[in-house]
Amino acid sequence: MTGVGLLLRHDLRRDRWMILWWVLGGVLLYWSQAVSVPGLYATQEELARAAASMEDNAAFVAMLGPARALDTVGGQVFWQVSAFGAVVAGLMSMFLVGRHTRAEEESGRDELVRSAAVGRHAPLVAAYLVAVLANLLLGLVTALSLMTVRQESPLAGMPLAAEDSLAVGLGVAACGWVFAGTALAAAQLTQSTRAMYGIAGAVLGVAYGLRAVGDVGSELLSWVSPIGWYQAMHPYSGLRWWPFLLMLAAAAVNVVATAVLFSRRDVGSGILAARPGPATAGPGLRSGVGLAWRLQRGSVVGWAAGLTLMGLAYGSIGDSVEDMLGDSGAVKDAVAGGAADLVDGFYGTAIVLLALMSCGFAISSALRPRAEEDAHHLEALAATGISRATWLGGHVLVTVVGTVVVLACAGLGLGVGYALTTGDGGAVLRLGLPTLSYVAPVLVLSAIARLLYGLRPALLVAAWAPLAFATVVLMFGTAMRFPDWLVDVSPFSHLALTPAEDFRLLPVVVVLMVAAAISAGGQMAFSRRDIG
């Protein structure tokens, strides 16, 4: 274990901003629900009526988890965010562990570190401790944020109980520890960072899927998922701690398995041998567009599938929106954009939410060239005669086409879900087509990321800030009475809230022109700076 302390301090210093943003995002997820739920329902009767509508919706149960104590604020908060909180902890753990294990071995830096007086297991132990501390910070700050929510409300469950809030925080931390262990084991199996992320991400996806299937079918399947164990702690509805011990045990088993796997491989290699690729590239790879598509097609398919399922979940609510949300003015303002028709207003807001989620694909796709440049692949490609403009242009085209595909799938899922619930086949087009108008603002956010990359890659840490700003404007703009000029900064604010409002073409065209101008600026900036 020689050198663990030194490596741990180095890794924490290197990850301080990454950990900060992940923790803030996770805490905001919980805190925003704890603050917003009491504001949505004016009376206990409204909350009880909404709870009765939600707990009978199988799509909601599959997406969020088993319904318990939904007629209380605490029950609503945990039900609405616990599954997503576990996913956030899992993703944070996966990226932290991968960054300090397989990525370091792939780049050769791990070999340099091991040439010093460092124990054989020290880099692995330091990487796992980073993930443990990051998840513990996420859990404690989440618990503290829930404990300190104090609002005057006639609803049951306010203020949130301290012990249950602590269980929510420690539970999400333990869930992150389990997934950190699976990521650590995945790093021993593979020889590339991408494959390691693929295995760890698949484990996370399977855990979420098993919980979803188990919650609407056989409960046994939920008990083989760490996310199911977390939700089985039942905070705010009969708290029990023994599922927390299950997660600790699973994390310990993962660490032991990692030690066994690590003892059976050489540093720099993986348990699973890497397959050599073909000797010559196919016709599809002999262009900038073909290469960019080959690199990003998995991301396009994954995001399209995820947004389709999310759209189906929203659409499956059908026309029972009013029963589920109540009919107070606060609900109309916050969830339905103040529209006269609550159902159309709700689906207009749902379309904006789906568009904001699709920004995750668009921004990450715009950042993909940076990873290729960091891996020195761009230098090798430049030696073949491909121009910078062609190389980056290929990635831009994939981002644009991928954004259209992802949003179209989200809209299709929304329309099909509504049609299956209500029997209204016309909803497929009525709810599906408006999502395509949001291609424009989504491309604006990806263009900003591209501009930062073109100007200076060190600025990419700010690439996600516009998405955070747009989300805050959508969720809190009305409640916090943001000034109009501040709301207008968000490109999402200029489009009509269809289907609650009539579609307007001019704002879409203007926002598209803004996206094109920013993207062109990024392309020009990239052509003028040094690479590498």
pLDDT at 166 over 90: yes
Dist. CA 130–CA 13, nearest whole Å: 10
Q: What is the pLDDT of residue 457?
A: 84
pLDDT at 275 over 80: no
**CA quadruple 53, 58, 60, 64: dihedral sign:** positive
pLDDT 10s digits, 174-218? 999 999 999 999 999 988 888 888 889 889 988 988 888 888 777
77, 33 Cβ separation under 8 angstroms: yes
pLDDT band at 519 (very low <50, low <70, confident <90, very high): very high
Q: Which residues contact 95 (CB under 8 A, 6 or more apart)?
A: 18, 197
pLDDT 10s digits, 98-121? 999 988 888 888 888 888 888 888
pLDDT 10s digits, 354-372? 999 899 899 999 998 888 8
pLDDT 10s digits, 439-490? 999 999 999 999 999 998 888 878 888 888 888 887 766 666 778 888 888 8
Report in angstroms the alpha-carbon separations of 342 from 205, 322, 326, 354.
Answer: 33, 7, 10, 18
Q: Looking at per-residue confidence, does 106 or 410 come out higher?
A: 410
Q: What is the pLDDT of residue 282?
A: 77
Residue that is written with structure tokens 């039900």 in the block: 79
pLDDT at 244 over 80: yes
Enter the tokens of residue 83.
């599954």
Closest CA to 29 of 53, 64, 71, 70: 64
Dist. CA 449–CA 465, nearest whole Å: 10
Chain-centre distance for alpha carbon 78: 18
Closest CA to 85 of 148, 194, 167: 167
515, 442 Cβ separation under 8 angstroms: no
- Torsion angle defined by CA atoms of residues 140, 142, 143 and 145, in that order, rounded to the nearest 10 degrees: 120
Q: What is the pLDDT of residue 331?
A: 57
Predicted TM-score of the model (pTM) = 0.78
Q: Which amino acid makes up residue 336? A: A
Dist. CA 298–CA 295, nearest whole Å: 7
Q: Which amino acid makes up residue 66? A: P
In a 3-state reduction of DSSP, which class is residue 148? Answer: coil
Q: Could you say which DSSP state residue 493 is in?
A: G
pLDDT band at 250 (very low <50, low <70, confident <90, very high): very high
DSSP run (H or E) holding 467: helix 465-476
pLDDT at 500 over 90: no
